[in-house]
Amino acid sequence: MAIKILNALIAIVGGIGGAMLLFWILNKLSESLKGKWEDRVKPWAFAGPAILAIAVYLIYPALVTLQLSFANAKSTKYVGLKNYTDLLSESEFRQVLLNNLLWIILVPASVVVLGLGVAVLADRLRPTGEKITKTLIFLPMAISMVGAATIWRAVYDYQPVGTAQTGLLNGIRAWFGKDPTSWYQLDKLHFNSLLLMIILIWTQVGYSMVLLSAAIKSVPEDTIEAGRIDGAGERKIFFSIIVPQIWGTVITVFITVLIGVMKVFDVVYVATNGQFNTDVVGRRFYYEMFTNGNNGYAAAIVVLLMIAITPVLIYQVRHFKREEANR
């Protein structure tokens, strides 16, 4: 134990000290260059280590992943598009895609709507009430998905008939004299997926609420006043005056949650491990890579995920460029 802590301390001191020394040396080296060359090299001395970290841990592996997606399970031979055609023709994998699609359709929209609702209502409370409400709703954001899945056992747990129920839902059923249900096995109309989505929504609504509340508060009061003078009701003011002005934030929240949902892994892995038709792309990827040891499938799944995320990526870059232009 002591050795581990010592190790961590060495890592911190060594990491920080090493980085400081590295930058000091890089700076000295670039200062030793003559005139123009100093100005040319110095930015790379400053930005170089970060760019290197990104290149080594994201860009290079991403390219290798693309390459591996055209090779067999053990990456010993190229198989062309076989991984992709195998996966896409497999009915199980198509179910996985369908599940992910359901997550994409339901979760981001629910998070935005619920967050907006709470933001609007909580803004009407007195400051103390507002603060407490917001903190409580926001709190699950700090909890890991593993923690959240554990917490929701208090609600979804199932014990066989005849034993005491430990999950709230089955407790309620028992109270009405009904037999308990194993909720996670209930895949009719993807009901079990819906239960998992609720866990994710529970952790994300606070985030949406905080951002949207800040946006609503920055809507200029005089635009709202103008609406009032024109005789618009509260609802009309909200939908015709406030919503258009916070639309940018709505999109930001939506996209952030969307990305999280596309690669969702933890909650499904912990709660059902993808059984009972709840599997998603992120869980299947983990299974292929780690449990099944099929690098070809795993890589192909990530490439498909990447293709699906590309529109979001393009939007993100465009959005950034627009913001820069306004700076």
Interface residues for another protein in 259-278 (CB under 8 A)?
A: 259, 262-263, 265-266, 269-270
Q: Considering only the stretches 77-85, 98-106, 188-196, 292-300, report the one whose residues sit in contact with another protein under the rule CB under 8 A.
A: 292-300
Q: Whole-angstrom Cα distance, residue 127 to residue 146?
A: 33
Q: Whole-angstrom Cα distance, residue 179 to residue 310?
A: 47
Q: Does the protein bind another protein through residue 168 (CB under 8 A)?
A: yes
Q: Does the protein bind another protein through residue 104 (CB under 8 A)?
A: no
Residue 224: CB minimum distance to another protein, A: 8
Q: Considering only the stretches 45-53, 84-92, 100-108, 179-187, report the one whose residues sit in contact with another protein under the rule CB under 8 A.
A: 45-53
Q: Considering only the stretches 85-93, 105-113, 178-186, 253-261, report the one whose residues sit in contact with another protein under the rule CB under 8 A.
A: 253-261
Q: How far apart are the first and last CA of the chain?
A: 50
DSSP 27-38: HHHHHTS-HHHH
Closer to another protein by CB, 190 or 283: give it. Answer: 283
Q: Whole-angstrom Cα distance, residue 129 to residue 93?
A: 47
- Counting residues that bind another protein (by CB under 8 A) gives 120
Q: Does the protein bind another protein through residue 79 (CB under 8 A)?
A: no
Residue 79: CB minimum distance to another protein, A: 15
Asked if 277 contacts 240 with a C-beta cutoff of 8 angstroms, the reply is: no
DSSP H helices in 218-265: 221-229, 234-237, 243-262
Q: Does the protein bind another protein through residue 136 (CB under 8 A)?
A: yes
Q: Does the protein bind another protein through residue 25 (CB under 8 A)?
A: no
Q: Whole-angstrom Cα distance, residue 184 to residue 188?
A: 11
